[in-house]
Amino acid sequence: MKRIFTCVILLLFTVSVYASIIENSIKQDTNEVENLYNHAFDVRLTDAMQTVKYADRALELAKQLDFKRGVAESYRVRGIGQFYLGHSEDAIDDYLNALTKFQDIKSYIGQVEVNINISSLYQDIDYDKCIEYLNNALELYQSKKLKQSDVLASIYMNFGNVYIREKSFTNALRSYDKIYELASHANNEEMKTMVLENKGSIYYELGDKERAISYYKRASVQAKDLDLNQLVAEIDLNLADVYLSEDNYGDAEKVLNEGYGYSTLVKSDKLTRYYLATRYKLETKRKNFERALYYLQNIYKQDSTKFNSNSSAALSIYQVKFNQGQLELEKERLTQRQKYNIILAVLLGLIIVLLVGNVKRKAETNKRLTGLNNEISVQKDNLDRINHHLEEIIDERTKDLQIKNKKLSEYSSYLSHQIRGPIATLKGLLNLEREGLVGQEECINMMVKCVNEIDDKIVDMSDMLHNPERAGM
């Protein structure tokens, strides 16, 4: 018994240790997924290609582990990388996949962030769509009472960017002041740098070029300190526009050369296209038409308005296709679910039939058992009566025997007394004859008489033993 108990304890301990090892292994793997997509997000403004690369690895590992939140966040971060690379269709595909996954696991903060990301896609091409997604993000953030200041700052950042493009500079400045406060609270230096850049854009639009250059330069210094290549390239592009508006071709070319170098580091098609367009503008202002033509040939054939329109349409079409694909997947899931439901219904029907049959068999068995129990009860009652009767008989016999034993004992004492008298006489005669006090003949006659008396008593005792009624027994 002790050995069995010891084996059971050892088995339970082994299972517990094994389960703990598996749990720790899974936790370590999910931690690796989180490390991968966090690193991917951190380098988005430095090297967007690396963002896509690390997010791909995170996504693959998360799918293997069935780590749903990891899958959703990996899609979102990879979409951010595609956005900075200028691959809008790839970005919207990843964002929509991320949004679906976050909805499945009811991650509200994830849904808010994806809506912000999608709004960024439409920021330069469709203000209405951009505002629609920002409102979705803000409404969800407020309705679920979320408390992440950096996420709220991102919402206001995109609102501010839209206000700039709509020439609503007062609202834009109000948004950026709120963002700067939230970013400071969250210690988000990247966002503070973006605020400086966007404020530079506001003052440029307002005609305060000196102030605009000041904000751009402050933003550029901070972006370089933080190794944010994407932001440095964007800021240099904005500075080039300011210098070109002042016909300051030297400084314009200087920042264009620097910014173009940073844009090649981040490998953004969108930024490269903007740099080509700005260089075309620079060479045109210089009246260097041959060089301007060279840059023009490297720009897309469509003008920016047509390109933006087509991009917005393309994204909308892609969203429709994605939604249709999701509907098809949902239909397929419903079809599979219906098949499973049919199989389940058949199995349940079989189980019900088996249960009904089992219930009937149990009812019949119970009925038979009830009958047997009744018969056993009757037999038990009969046995009880018989036992009771036997006990009464035994009691009567015992009492009778006790009475007879008592009478027999009394009679035995009586007979013993009756026999002892003649025997005592015989002993006395023998002593008298030995001493010569009685004659031999007289002694013999008296002894014969005693013997006959003893014989009569013995015969009488035997007769009484064989005839109890005579003895009163």
- Residue 275 CA to residue 277 CA, distance in Å, equals 5
The position carrying tokens 């990301």 is 117
Residue 245: how many CB atoms within 10 A of its CB? 14
What letter represents residue 166's amino acid? Answer: E
User: Is there a contact between 263 and 275 (Cβ–Cβ < 8 Å)?
Assistant: yes
> What is the DSSP annotation of 7-55?
HHHHHHHHHHHHHHHHHHHHHHHHHHHHHHHHHHHHTTTT-HHHHHHHH
**Residue 313 has what pLDDT?**
55
Q: What would the mean pLDDT of 227-240 be, rounded to a whole number?
A: 93
Higher per-residue pLDDT: 21 or 282? 282
For residue 308, is pLDDT > 60?
no
User: Is there a contact between 122 and 312 (Cβ–Cβ < 8 Å)?
Assistant: yes
pLDDT digits (tens, 9 = 90+) for 334-348: 667 777 778 877 877
Q: What would the mean pLDDT of 163-192 be, rounded to a whole number?
A: 88
Identify the three-state secondary structure at position 268: coil
CA 40 → CA 48, 186, 230, 453, distances in Å?
8, 20, 14, 139
pLDDT digits (tens, 9 = 90+) for 36-70: 999 999 999 889 999 999 999 999 999 999 999 99
**Residue 18 has what pLDDT?**
45
Q: Which residues contact 471 (CB under 8 A, 6 or more apart)?
A: 407, 411, 464, 465
- Which among 192-196, 334-338, 416-420 has the top mean pLDDT? 192-196
**Residue 33 has what pLDDT?**
96
- Residue 37 CA to residue 75 CA, distance in Å, equals 9
Higher per-residue pLDDT: 455 or 117? 117
Closest CA to 112 of 153, 173, 81: 153
- Residue 144 CA to residue 148 CA, distance in Å, equals 12
- Residue 278 CA to residue 285 CA, distance in Å, equals 11
- Residue 29 CA to residue 35 CA, distance in Å, equals 10
For residue 326, is pLDDT > 70?
no
Q: What are phi and psi of 14, to 5 degrees?
A: -65, -45
In this predicted structure, which of 27-36, 91-100, 441-450, 454-463 has the lowest mean pLDDT?
Answer: 454-463
User: Is there a contact between 230 and 266 (Cβ–Cβ < 8 Å)?
Assistant: yes
